[in-house]
Amino acid sequence: MDKELFEQLKQSMQQHNEIAASTRKPSRVFDFGSVKEIRAHTGLSQQKFADVLLVSVGTLRNWEQGLRSPTGPAKALLRAIEHDPKNVLNALIRAKSASAVRAPARHRLRIDDRTARKSAAASSRAKVGLPTISGSRKISGRRAGAGKRT
């Protein structure tokens, strides 16, 4: 390692220790309003605000109570909402509704057909007097031919 670079790194670590010990003020502070204030300014409930941000309500509550802090993209998004709530929220809502595309019709039909077939099979079993069988339920008793061979 270059000696000059090492000295800069050493000086940076000393400054870090002084800032951590509160004997020196940081040169830059990246701060924004509290998450609760930002949400209150938008007029949205916790549930709706969490939905827009694509985070869980629990995560939002942790941010608002100061138990956790947003990082990375969430922090940048909150900063953008703080500075221009109307346009940012409108953009997020438009993007969310555009991405909420349902499965193609051919997939829905397959699922509906399977459900209808299972339902028809169950009703025909009931008409004949046979027990209905679900996929996760085991049938008690022995299998056919599972007895002792003589």
- Give the CB-side neighbour count of residue 39, counting CA atoms within 13 A: 19
- Give dist(CA 146, CA 149) in Å, integer: 9
Q: Is pLDDT of 55 > 60?
A: yes
What pLDDT, in 10s, does the model give residues 62-90?
999 888 889 889 999 999 999 999 999 99
The pLDDT score that the predictor gives to residue 26 is 77
Q: What is the model's pLDDT at position 149? A: 58
What is the pLDDT confidence band of residue 129, given thresholds at 50, 70 and 90?
Answer: low
Which residues lie below 8 Å from residue 126, measured CB to CB, with a gap of 6+? 132
Domains of the chain by start residue, with CATH: 32-99 (1.10.260.40)
Quick one: pLDDT band at residue 13, thresholds 50, 70, 90? very high
Q: With beta carbons less than 8 A apart as the criterion, state whether 66 and 95 touch.
A: no
Alpha carbons 16 and 74: distance in angstroms, whole number: 26
**Residue 83 CB coordination number (10 Å):** 11
pLDDT at residue 150 in the model: 53
pLDDT of residue 93: 86
113 pLDDT exceeds 60? Answer: no
Residue type at position 64: E
Output the pLDDT for position 117. Answer: 58
More confident residue, 50 or 121: 50
Model pTM above 0.75: no
The mean of the pLDDT values for the chain is 76
CB-CB neighbours of 57 under 10 Å: 14
- Distances from the Cα of 44 to the Cαs of 13, 99, 137, in angstroms? 43, 21, 45
HSE, CB side, 13 Å, CA atoms: give it for residue 49: 25
Give the mean pLDDT of 51-68: 91
Q: How far apart are CA 33 and CA 36, in angstroms?
A: 8
The pLDDT, as a whole number, for residue 67 is 86
